[in-house]
């Protein structure tokens, strides 16, 4: 599903290149739920931006569902992101003047899908994430955990190959964090959604099937849960 090969990235500051990621190689298989764990500055956001096609790597390759994204033109990549990748953000990134259902439908508005089908798919996802009864409310009328459920439903509406979640519980209290992770696990186990969850919290990472740990831009080997290797 996701294959990263010898991926390196440096930022140019003035005359100097600052290496941030060093020859990372790993795979995430379809249906897996993987945590990308690392402390502040370890390179998580950089890696996420590269995997999401928001930046081009200095070296190496990133293949999603068989497509080498580092080779795509900007236009092709924008289209690929819209159709193959789902995103969940720490701060939800919902649109305040759209209702919950309209927020969930939004990624489909850019595709030629009939309004009735958009509505039906959004309501089905809102049911699945447990907030169908909130579909006509606005984001400001919901709790943080409910807003993140909207954002999760929105990330799934295009039926993406993979969903990247960037600190999805970073703004939530411990109880709500556990509920959101329960929901992601449920979507993974029962709907086969492939997730990569970026986090600096061991508590979150511990609940995934597999942990990839970054330290100072290097992937630590052999840091797997349940005695798995890979």
Ligand X SMILES: Nc1ncnc2c1ncn2[C@@H]1O[C@H](COP(=O)(O)OP(=O)(O)OP(=O)(O)O)[C@@H](O)[C@H]1O
DSSP H stretches of helix in the chain: 44-51, 74-84, 100-109, 115-128, 144-156, 174-191, 202-205
Q: Count of residues binding ligand X (CB under 6 A)?
A: 13
Gyration radius of the chain's alpha carbons = 18
Residues within window 188-227 making contact with ligand X, judged by CB under 6 A? 200
Residue with tokens 């993987």, as numbered in its chain: 34
Of 43-51, 73-81, 139-147, 149-157, the segment contacting ligand X by CB under 6 A is 43-51
User: Is 119 or 200 the residue whose CB approaches ligand X more closely?
Assistant: 200
C-beta atoms surrounding 30 within 10 Å: 12
> How many Å apart are CA 29 and CA 31, to the nearest integer?
6
> How many Å apart are CA 131 and CA 126, to the nearest integer?
5
Candidates 35, 44, 102, 154: give the one binding ligand X (CB under 6 A).
44
Residues within window 4-33 making contact with ligand X, judged by CB under 6 A? 11, 13, 18, 20
User: Is 144 or 170 the residue whose CB approaches ligand X more closely?
Assistant: 170
Candidates 17, 25, 41, 109: give the one binding ligand X (CB under 6 A).
41
Point out which residues bind ligand X (CB under 6 A).
11, 13, 18, 20, 38, 40-46, 200
């Amino acid at each position: 599903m996701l294959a990263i090969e010898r991926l390196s990235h440096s930022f140019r500051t003035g005359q100097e290149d600052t290496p941030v990621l060093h020859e990372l190689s790993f795979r995430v298989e379809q249906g897996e739920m993987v945590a990308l764990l690392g402390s502040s500055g370890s390179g998580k956001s950089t890696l996420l931006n590269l995997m999401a096609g928001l930046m081009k790597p200095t070296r190496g390759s990133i293949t999603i569902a068989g497509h080498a994204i580092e080779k795509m033109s900007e236009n092709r990549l924008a289209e690929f992101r819209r159709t193959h990748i789902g995103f969940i953000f720490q701060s939800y990134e919902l649109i305040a003047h759209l209702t919950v259902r309209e927020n969930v439908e939004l990624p489909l508005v850019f595709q030629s899908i009939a309004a009735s089908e958009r509505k039906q798919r959004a309501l089905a996802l809102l049911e699945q994430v447990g907030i169908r009864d909130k579909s006509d409310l606005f984001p400001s009328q919901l709790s943080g955990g409910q807003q993140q459920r909207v954002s999760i439903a929105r990330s799934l509406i295009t039926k993406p190959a993979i969903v990247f979640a960037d600190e999805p519980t970073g703004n939530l209290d411990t109880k709500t964090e556990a509920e959101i992770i329960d929901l992601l696990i449920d979507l993974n186990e029962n709907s086969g959604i492939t997730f990569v969850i970026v986090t600096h919290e061991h508590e979150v990472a511990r609940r995934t099937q597999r942990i990839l740990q970054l330290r100072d831009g290097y992937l630590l080997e052999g840091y797997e849960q349940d005695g798995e290797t890979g």
